[in-house]
Structure 1
Amino acid sequence: MSDTHPTSLRPGGPSPSNTPRPESQSLPEDMQGRQQYAYGANQESQSGQQQSANYGSRFPSQIYAAQGPDFGVDTPGGSSSNHPNHPYGGNGGNDARSRSSTIGQSYPVTMDQSSQPSMPGAQPLFAQHSGQAAGMAGQSGSRPVSRHNPGGPSQAMNPSVLQPNFSSGQSTRPGTAGGTQSQSKSPFTTPVTSPPRSRPSQILLINPTSSTALTNTMLSSLRPILPPQLEVVGYTAHYPAPTATETTVDQALSTELVLRDLAKYATNNGETVQNFDALLVASFTQHPLINALRESYDVPVIGVMEGSLYVSRMLGARFGVLSTTNRHKIQTDDALHMSGLGHYFVGAEAVHMSPIEILASASQSQTGALPEEVSKRIAHAARALVSKGADTLVMGSESMSSLEVIRAAKDAIREEDGRRTINVVDCVEAGVMCLNALVGMGVPTSKKGVYRGERDGRRARGQNWL
């Protein structure tokens, strides 16, 4: 990034000007003194400058005026930003010369001895300093004024050249408080992109119920937000799986059916199901299928409740959950406190509708809006959670992942001026995004402790059936 910094301006370097040494002329007394001082300094340091002619060059101020302070010019010895004495490069600026004002200083100028001038109007060379750059009339700057410019020697000189004590006002040197443009070193690097993948990541969305409509609703809500290189495949439990997982019995029955069915599609090494990179259980409960799949396979496995709760914890200080029924509200309260997130949980509010009723209301809506009664219940529960201090709301059911239900919750908590300062988290969307992050990290399920594979134990007991 050092190439974007202004070229270092150093006192004592050779001048790019090829103005020849003037013949003896009749000059004012103060002018002659300045001329003799400038050329005397040049003769004394000429031998040393021959060895360092490739470093410390000052560039014409016309280039600075035409291109602005953010340009890269190569010195005869290479890029100025790579020079060891460059204030932003090399050894970090420890050996960089002072960038302070140079008023009253004179700079030795290297003369080309092979090209003695025959110019009748050769001009005396006065000490250069930080004055008004060519082409930048009306602005004060910190770059030296070069005599080698398109305007010719007759160009008006800055008053501070003839009057060393002249003050030009506030400094506009780039990078200073009074500068017109900030030239500080950028803290940002160039973007880093991921290498191309041989195939996209694939997540299996497991619906432990036998409701195909629920699976289609979840996939429809995910389609607009899926990132590139990610595919989500839906799975619906077959009959006689329950149509909803509202009770403990429903959860136990669905777990047994899904485990047996997915075992038919497991890979030979038993690491996953049909080479899926991760498994997502679409049930906003502590479904036993989650831990059962973690024991059976190596790929990451989470539930929609886990993903949405962790996302809500990162987005706000307190969160609340919109539940379906009163039973579900109690289950959510217990699950939250058991997970250790009770301190950030303000509570759950039920809309007093079963997942099947909510799903039917969303699917029957032809105009894109929920029935008025359903909208009122969702709005009442959302506002009640906000009044308890929630700054993030979680849609606490996979049946609430439809766009119509989420829109109803968002509209209910808008400010009077139309702003929405409270987040509404879709549990299915949060689960998919969390799994996508785990897949990108390349971390499997740990098999050392509780989730150690169960196949060896069954074989040791002589149990050859699942």
Structure 2
Amino acid sequence: MPTILIINPNSSRFITDSLQEKLPKLVAPDVQLRFFTCPAPGAAVIDSITEATLTAALVFQSLIPQVLEGIDAVVVACYSPTPLVDMIRESYQLPCMGIVQASVLAALTVGQKVGILTSTYRSECLLYELLQSFGIQRSRIAAIASTGRTVLQLSNMDPKERKTLLVQRAQELVRIHGADSICLGGAALAAIRDSIQEAVGPEIPIIDGVHAAIEQLSGLVRQKLTTSKSGIYQYP
């Protein structure tokens, strides 16, 4: 029975609450989920390198043994590049995965040209660098489409306007850039997955990175695979 910790590395509790409400309905009955939110004074959103670094330090310092007791694997639910994934891999044997890696791996399995829907233009630029660090060729990325708004700005929009904006960007990924699968670039975007699916059609897979990470990590736990300690992830 895999027990997986979902870390929200920003301090916006509403994002954690949304994940906590949605995810248990999607995973196998024998998968147990626990949730952790970055403590104050962590950033409410992560839209910069500085915010990603500072929140990673706050979360990492909070991962006391009581938090990790009984945990088999860790999901870092952040679609911005964050050092937290590598910090956890280096310091623990628990398998750990970020949702960018999880979503793109899933998308490349079911499609040839991946489109990513994300928030700000800065995120768009940073994601290209992160994907390159994973060894993913630029030719496999159809495009990364940003909304031009932060996660908080999106959450404060009128729901109909937010839905219209995100659906429009998703349709552009398919019609203009030729994406044959779409990754939702952030935990907060998963709430409108069904609307995006309806807009682009059933033949285009829509991947929620948090759900993808849970499923991939569950497989690693069942195979009894842990983080290697003979290379870059040796204990510090």
Q: Does 1:379 align with 2:174?
A: no
Q: Counterparts of 2:161 and 2:188 in 1: how far apart (Å)?
A: 17
Which of 179, 185, 193 is the aligned partner of 1:406? 193
Preserved contact between residue 336 and residue 345 of structure 1 (Cα < 8 Å): no
Q: How many residues align?
A: 234
- Secondary structure at the counterpart of residue 63 of structure 2: helix
Following superposition of structure 1 onto structure 2, how do residues 337-356 of structure 1 map, counting pairs within 5 Å?
337-341=132-136, 342-356=138-152
Whichever residue aligns with residue 328 of structure 1, its letter is S
CA distance in 2, matches of 1:434, 1:354: 28
Match of 1:34 in 2: none
Matches within 5 A, 1:154-193: none
Query: Aligned runs of 1:46-85 on 2, under 5 Å?
Result: none
Q: Which runs of 5+ in 1 are unaligned?
A: 1-199, 267-272, 362-369, 415-419, 455-466
Moved runs in structure 1, 4+ residues, more than 3 A?
Answer: none
Indicate how the Cα distance of structure 1 residues 232 and 327 shifts in structure 2: closer, same or farther if over 3 A, else same: same
Q: Is the 8 A contact 1:378 1:408 kept in 2?
A: no
What residue number does 1:394 align with?
183
TM-aligned CA deviation for residue 410 of structure 1: 1.3
TM-score, normalising length from structure 2? Answer: 0.94
Identity %: 25
Give the whole-Å Cα distance in 2 for the aligned partners of 1:236 and 1:407.
26
Displacement of 1:264 in angstroms is 4.9
In 1, the alpha carbon distance for the partners of 2:160 and 2:13 equals 26
Task: Find out whether 1:358 has 2:159 as its counterpart.
Answer: no
Superposed, 1:28-427 pairs within 5 Å as 200-265=1-66, 273-341=68-136, 342-361=138-157, 371-387=159-175, 388-402=177-191, 405-414=192-201, 420-427=202-209
Aligned partner letter, 1:386: V
Structure whose alpha-carbon radius of gyration is higher: 1
Select the structure that is richer in helix.
2
2:64 and 2:96 mapped to 1: Cα distance?
15
Residue 374 of structure 1 deviates from its aligned partner by 1.2
Matches of 2:144 and 2:63, distance apart in 1:
33
What is the aligned partner in structure 1 of residue 215 from structure 2? 433
2: distance between equivalents of 1:319 and 1:260?
Answer: 35
Distance 1:204 1:375 in 2: 29
Once the two structures are superposed, what CA deviation does each residue of 1:125-162 show, in whole Å capped at 9, x if it has no partner? xxxxxxxxxxxxxxxxxxxxxxxxxxxxxxxxxxxxxx
After superposition, the C-alpha distances for 1:250-298 in whole angstroms (9 at most, x for unaligned) are 11111111111103536xxxxxx21200011010122100000001110
Contact persistence 1:302–1:431 (CA under 8 A): yes
Say whether 1:452 aligns with 2:231. Answer: no
SS in 2 for 1:204: strand
Q: Normalising to structure 1: TM-score of the pair?
A: 0.49
Matches of 2:144 and 2:155 in 1, distance apart?
Answer: 20
Amino acid at match of 1:396: G
Unaligned stretches of 5+ in structure 2?
none
Q: Which amino acid aligns with 2:159?
A: P
Residues of 2 paired with 1:373 and 1:401: CA distance? 16
Cα RMSD, aligned residues only: 1.4
Taking the aligned partners of 2:232 and 2:156, their CA distance within structure 1 comes to 39
Note the alpha carbon deviations across 1:274-323, whole angstroms, 9 max, x for none: 12000110101221000000011101011011111100000111110001
| 1:364-415 deviation per Cα after TM superposition (whole angstroms, max 9, x unaligned) | xxxxxx722212211221111102111100001111122xx2122112212x
- TM-aligned CA deviation for residue 333 of structure 1: 1.8
Deviation at 1:351, TM superposition (A): 1.5
CA distance in 1, matches of 2:131, 2:75: 19
Letter matched to residue 411 of structure 1: E
* Residue type of the alignment partner of 1:381: R
